Amino acid sequence: MATESALLERCESKCELCSATSPLQPFVVAPHTQITVDHAVMLCETCKTQIENPEATDPNHWRCLNDSMWSQTPAVQVVAWRQLKRLSESETWAHDLLDMMYLEDETKTWAEIGMDDDADKPLDVNGVELKKGDDVTIIKDLPIKGSSQVIKQGTVVRNINVSADDAKHIQGKVNGQAMYVIAEYCRKK
């Protein structure tokens, strides 16, 4: 509770991004996982929901970043930079703000690390994310390491698992044998 009190005091009971005074919640800034004063920001429900669900983003809501990007708090700067980076792909005003924003090297590294979320997900040949339980089709003949056998193009691998060790690999049974397959040589069914 002391951490949340310190965060509320820092933000003067206002959302650290849009300054809303509605109920606030602490939001841990990835890749950190613990709520601490240095690694969390206080957000209103609107900001938190749109950060967690990028498809639900209302670009006009984020015009508030014009002010919050100048915060002296690194965690706030990181969240503002990430939102501007996402928005800059479709909104010219966000691109302009991003060009003006300055981050210390350590803070910029923190911001960029969190933008690599897709790097931790296995993607098929078309860039579609593969998830546990999906069925995939092999797109080309693949030699099996340590064997003279080949997985033929068109082979279906059902009910795959995602490798915890390497995001480029999926696991499944091919011809009754459990093995790892490189995700980019598959197409989701």
The predicted pLDDT at position 116 comes to 56
Mean pLDDT for 153-159 is 93
**What share of the chain has pLDDT > 90, as a percent?**
63
pLDDT surpassing 80 at residue 158: yes
In sequence order, the 6+-apart residues with CB closer than 8 A to the CB of 33 are: none
| CA count, 13 A, side-chain hemisphere, 185 | 17
Confidence of residue 20 (pLDDT cuts 50, 70, 90): very high
CB 59 within 8 A of CB 90: yes
From the options 3.90.640.10, 2.30.30.40, 3.40.50.1820, 2.160.10.10, give the CATH code of 136-188: 2.30.30.40
From CA 49, how far away is CA 40, in angstroms rounded?
15
The predicted pLDDT at position 41 comes to 96
In SS3 terms, 43-94 reads as EEHHHHHHHHCHHHCCHHHHHHHHHHCCCCCHHHHHHHHHHHHHHCCCCHHH
**What share of the chain has pLDDT > 70, as a percent?**
95
**Radius of gyration, CA atoms only, the chain:** 22
Question: Which sign does the torsion angle of CA 187, 185, 159, 134 carry?
Answer: negative
* pLDDT (tens digit per residue) in 65-112: 999 999 999 999 999 999 999 999 899 999 999 999 999 999 999 998
From CA 50, how far away is CA 98, in angstroms rounded?
19
The predicted pLDDT at position 125 comes to 84
Confidence of residue 163 (pLDDT cuts 50, 70, 90): confident
In the chain, the DSSP E strands lie at 24-28, 40-44, 136-138, 142-143, 150-151, 156-157, 161-162, 169-174, 177-182, 186-188
Average pLDDT, the chain: 89
**How would you classify residue 177: left for phi > 0, otherwise alpha for psi between -120 and 50, otherwise beta?**
beta
Measured distance between the N- and C-terminal CA atoms of the chain, rounded to whole angstroms: 48
From CA 152, how far away is CA 174, in angstroms rounded?
10
Domain ranges of the chain: 1-114, 136-188
